[in-house]
Amino acid sequence: QVQLVESGGGSVQAGGSLRLSCAASGYTFSNYCMGWFRQAPGKEREGVASISAGGGGTSYTDSVEGRFTISRDNAKRTLYLQMNSLKPEDTAMYFCAAGSGALVSRCSDVKRINYWGQGTQVTVSS
């Protein structure tokens, strides 16, 4: 069955960096877009970044543009999110997600996601 397993979360001070990873198995990873979503307590899950199946297309929510970088290694079946200049408002549970098609737009919304990871907590202190 499909499995998405995140790692790399933790606690950092504002201005610090973290790198999240997501190991995928159980489906043809290179055929589908991937995304990172996050959910803070009491808030809805929101898209953070997405990447097309081949890796050539990316999209970011405005609040992380220029600070976060999404990437993927199809040979290793792994998705990454490099997070720099972290802010307290980045604190949330971060989820890896597999979309319903190859294009980055197929990973831009929770309604277009086929599979979710279990999440990894990111906490940024001021």
pLDDT digits (tens, 9 = 90+) for 15-37: 999 999 999 999 999 999 999 99
Kindly report the CA angle at 115 between 94 and 81, in degrees rounded to 5? 35
Distance CA 53, CA 11 (A): 30
Q: What is the pLDDT of residue 108?
A: 85
**Looking at the chain, which runs of residues are DSSP E strands?**
3-7, 10-13, 18-25, 34-39, 46-51, 58-60, 68-73, 78-83, 92-99, 113-116, 120-125
Q: Considering the chain, what is the average pLDDT of its residues?
A: 97
Distance CA 109, CA 62 (A): 15
- Cβ proximity of 104 and 59 under 8 Å: yes
Q: Residue 57: is its pLDDT beyond 90? A: yes
